[in-house]
Chains A and B, each alone.
Chain A
Amino acid sequence: MRIASVVAALLGSLLFLFLVAPIAQLVATSGVEGGVRLGTDAELRRALGLTAATATAATLLGVLGGTPIAFLMERWRFRGRAIVAAFLDLPLLIPHPVAGIALLLVLGRESALGGAALDLGLRIVGSPVGIVCAMLFVSAPLYISGAREAFARVDPRYEAVARTLGDHRWRVFRRVTLPLSGRGLVAAAVVMWARAVSEFGAIVIITYNPKTVSVLSYDRFTSFGLREALPVAAILTVLALLPLTALRALRYERRPDLGAGAAA
Chain B
Amino acid sequence: MIEALGLAARAGSFRLQDITFTVPDGAYGVVIGPAGSGKTTLLETIAGITPQTAGTLRLGGRDMQVIPPEQRGLGLVYQHGYLFPHLSVEQNIAYGAPDPIAASEVATRLGAWDLRDRAVESLSGGERQLVALARALARRPAILLLDEPFSALDPRRRESTRRELRRIHREWGTTVLQVTHDFTEAGLLGDVAILLDRGRVLQSGRPEEVFRKPASSYVAEFLGAENVFAGTARAIDGSDPAGDAPNELHQAVEFRTGALRIYAVANAVESPGYAVIRAEEVLLSLEPQLGSSARNLFRGRITEISTLGALTRISLDVAGTPLVAALTTRSAQELGLVVGMEAYASFKAMAVHLC
Taken together as a complex, chains A and B put the C-alpha atoms of A179 and B85 apart, in Å, by: 10
Q: What are the residues of chain A within 8 A of B348 when measuring CB–CB?
A: none
Tell me the smallest distance from the CB of A176 to a CB of chain B, in Å. Answer: 6
User: Is A160 an interface residue, CB under 8 A from the partner?
Assistant: yes
Taken together as a complex, chains A and B put the C-alpha atoms of A167 and B70 apart, in Å, by: 6
User: Is A5 an interface residue, CB under 8 A from the partner?
Assistant: no
For chain A residues 137-183, which have a beta carbon within 8 Å of chain B? 155, 157-158, 160-169, 176, 179-180
Query: Of B81, B121, B135, B152, which is within 8 A of A165 by CB?
Result: B135
Contact A166 B81, CB 8 Å, known A180-B86, A263-B125, A264-B151: no
Q: What are the residues of chain A within 8 A of B158 when measuring CB–CB?
A: none
Q: Are A166 and B49 in contact (CB under 8 A)?
A: no
For chain B residues 55-110, which have a beta carbon within 8 Å of chain A? 68-70, 72, 74-76, 78-86, 95-96
Which of A155, A166, A261 has the most chain B CB within a 10 Å cutoff? Answer: A166
Taken together as a complex, chains A and B put the C-alpha atoms of A264 and B83 apart, in Å, by: 11
Q: What are the residues of chain B within 8 A of A166 when measuring CB–CB?
A: 70, 96, 139
Q: What are the residues of chain A within 8 A of B151 when measuring CB–CB?
A: 264
Taken together as a complex, chains A and B put the C-alpha atoms of A158 and B96 apart, in Å, by: 13
Q: Are B70 and A168 in contact (CB under 8 A)?
A: yes
Q: What are the residues of chain B within 8 A of A179 when measuring CB–CB?
A: 86
User: Is A255 an interface residue, CB under 8 A from the partner?
Assistant: yes
User: Is A116 an interface residue, CB under 8 A from the partner?
Assistant: no
Query: Of B44, B68, B83, which is within 8 A of A262 by CB?
Result: B83
Q: What are the residues of chain B within 8 A of A157 when measuring CB–CB?
A: 78, 82
User: Is B210 an interface residue, CB under 8 A from the partner?
Assistant: no
Taken together as a complex, chains A and B put the C-alpha atoms of A180 and B83 apart, in Å, by: 12
User: Is B136 an interface residue, CB under 8 A from the partner?
Assistant: yes
Query: Of A165, A258, A262, A263, which is within 8 A of B96 by CB?
Result: A165
Q: What are the residues of chain A within 8 A of B78 when measuring CB–CB?
A: 157, 161, 262
Q: Are A163 and B86 in contact (CB under 8 A)?
A: no
Taken together as a complex, chains A and B put the C-alpha atoms of A255 and B122 apart, in Å, by: 13
Contact A261 B152, CB 8 Å, known A165-B96, A166-B70, A167-B96: no
Taken together as a complex, chains A and B put the C-alpha atoms of A168 and B68 apart, in Å, by: 8
Q: Are B76 and A160 in contact (CB under 8 A)?
A: yes
User: Is A119 an interface residue, CB under 8 A from the partner?
Assistant: no
User: Is B8 an interface residue, CB under 8 A from the partner?
Assistant: no
27 pairs from A and B in contact (CB 8 Å cutoff): A155-B82, A158-B82, A160-B49, A161-B76, A162-B84, A162-B96, A163-B47, A163-B48, A163-B49, A163-B68, A164-B49, A164-B69, A165-B75, A165-B136, A165-B139, A167-B70, A168-B70, A179-B86, A180-B85, A255-B121, A258-B85, A262-B83, A263-B80, A264-B80, A264-B81, A264-B124, A264-B151
Instruction: Show the binding face of B for A, using Cβ within 8 Å.
Output: 44, 47-49, 68-70, 72, 74-76, 78-86, 95-96, 121, 124-126, 128-129, 132, 135-136, 139, 151-152
Instruction: Show the binding face of A for B, using Cβ within 8 Å.
Output: 155, 157-158, 160-169, 176, 179-180, 255, 257-258, 261-264
